[in-house]
Structure 1
Amino acid sequence: MFKFLSALFGSLAIIPAIISYEIGFSPKRTYDQCEITTENQNLLRIFILVLSYIGIALQVPFKYYYYKWIRLYPLTFEELQPSFKPTYLEVIEMIRKRKPIEYILDHHTYLVTILFLIFPYPGMYTKIYLDQQIKYKQYTFCYYLEEIFYFIMFLRVFYLLFSVFSYGQFQNPLAYRICESYRIKVSSIYSVKCYSWMYPVQVLLFIFLIPGVIVFGIGTRIFERTIKFNGMNFDSLENSMWCIIVTMMTVGYGDTIPASKLSRGVICLCLFWGGIILSLTFVTVGSMLKLNPKETLAFKAIVATREAGSVICSKVYERLLKEGRLKGWRALEYKISKFFNPIKSHQISEEARIYRETTRISNKIEKIDKIADSVQHKLKKLSKVL
């Protein structure tokens, strides 16, 4: 729970950051002249600082209880078969005393701490200038350093989403016990895989697609909204998100094109994220179109029955034609079909033969099972009588 609370407080800091950025953005600002409205900025940034530091502080009890649990973890393997038990080296690694630096390095705690330390600090108004050549003309773009920090803060959303997967039906004691028996490491990624298998459409939309479009769309708007000379309107969040969607889907209409280096960096990140989304989309659509076992049996039964009926009808038509009883349109239709399919109309495909043979064997097995159950029932009755 401390891991989720840490991610939640860290992500809540984005709300005052959004308010601070929007009210601080000056309408007089241009791509080469930075201006900012400083009214109420420090108060909002103090809220950001407090929420971010609370998120960092909650990492401490999370690591404390995690390592307290990991020391008791080897005891849960006592009832397992010897082939599934961990080695002595693994047990020693679990119960040994950790160095303070290991508390920071394990589970990427240092990355979470760095992520939570990147935000617009109170009183921070640092200008940076980036030179860039566009269509053989030299331009100088002005940004505030805290705008870059502001965009990086949105990466906390992804940390929050994946922290949610640390809880649920694949992270309870029952799931832990089953995973122990199979020597599977329980993690958030394992839960994501499980939920992706169970709810592929929901995971694709609400974990990958929608958060990606929002986060990268906001990033493109931050770094591109002051650039007006190229005819693009990235001041509109809708246009920025449209650019992200087109980029993710690898369509590339070219109606919205980012110009600055920073926004192009966001587009590069978006491309990698879009690759994940596209691969999940293909897998999801493929699983939706794939027949389940019962549907496969029904499909094979329909095909085999139609082929058998076609062969029977062909034999009947052939005999009627020899006897001179097949006349008119039916005789012409039969001759045309026989001309174009001289072999198919008299043969059953190999797949249909295998299905019919499998069905015949399955029916015999069912009959044998029924007879065995009947004999077993009679033997029980006889044993009671005796």
Structure 2
Amino acid sequence: MKRFFHSAGYRWFLLCCAYVVVAAAVMNGFYTKWRLNDGHPALGLSQMVEGTAHRPYVYRQFIPALANGVQALLPPATVARLSERLSEPRRVNSRSGLAMRYPGSEALLPAVTLRYHLVYYLTFVALLASLFVMRRLCLQAGATAVASTAAPAVLALMLPFFLTEGGYFYDFVELLFVMSAVLLALGGSRQTPMRLAGLVALAGLATWNKESFFFFTPALYPLLRRNLPRPQSAALVAVLLLVCGSVYLALRMRYAGNPGSTVDYQLWDNLRYYADPGNWLRTESTYGVLLPRGFGIVTVLAFAGIAVNGWARLPPALRGHARVALCINLPLFLLFCSPGEMRNLSMLYPSLLCLLALALDKWLAPHARTDPAVIPDVR
């Protein structure tokens, strides 16, 4: 029995339990803040799964398409029975349903309730999977097992704070895709053709989830250059752009008749917003507590400290990636994103994660030297 509790398998079991709890807490923080935009006429969940949402939201169809596909595979009688059970009005006062204490939830609409639950739990699975991908990425960046285990949890718990002007299920799927893309690109070489093929396939799925992945692909070039010659790295990025562009074009053609527009120009609104000192001190309720908003002086101070302590330890390839991602993401953020919408700096999530892990290594180093009972490596 003692051998079992000291085994690598049991340590993995504990890690899985910890990450499930973290993912559940993050989903709750997101869902109680935004739900699935229930009742919103332009981007509610019912509009998303039916394909009638406004542009550009309707382009983010990866998870809705999966939910529609799963429902289509089930016999109509099974769908009707599950929908009737899931949409029972009693679930408003039950701890077993998503409509708990919210009578206006679209989870109570029989026509979409099954897909509503599928979207919710597929999002949860994507968030949970991203924690393990992030842990692996931290290890690849050179962080210790302790920091590599803690950093993904810390970053995930910060996500609801970034959802200031809006929160959407596809933001969590995007987290999985950008982290996976960086991990694949970091280890891609001529000796790993399947990894490179997986990166190409992932690019198409990631664009199906959110069209901004098209702009993220050039930031993978410094990572590919780690093991590939310059011409092959550039050619692979060109292929990724072609795949992303093709998927995006297909989505635009498919939903060309939907209301809305492709992008909104918001540069002047952003400049006015960031020039107002009061906006740097605003608060909002996150995790049920009134706390500083995702964009503000507290966040900037925290991220500055993480960058200062982690940058010197960041491998050259990841430094190059961070620079390119910043040069791409920041102009797009200022030009097209709502003021203070931190979630739209998502191209910087991998860099923030690695910097956080390496900064944690530095901060925990004195304790690691004096305490031999550190968390074991469960790579």
The bucket for the TM-score relative to the shorter chain is under 0.3
Q: Which has the higher contact order (CA 8 A, sep 6+)?
A: 2
TM-score (ref. length: structure 2): 0.26
Higher Cα Rg: structure 1 or 2?
Answer: 1
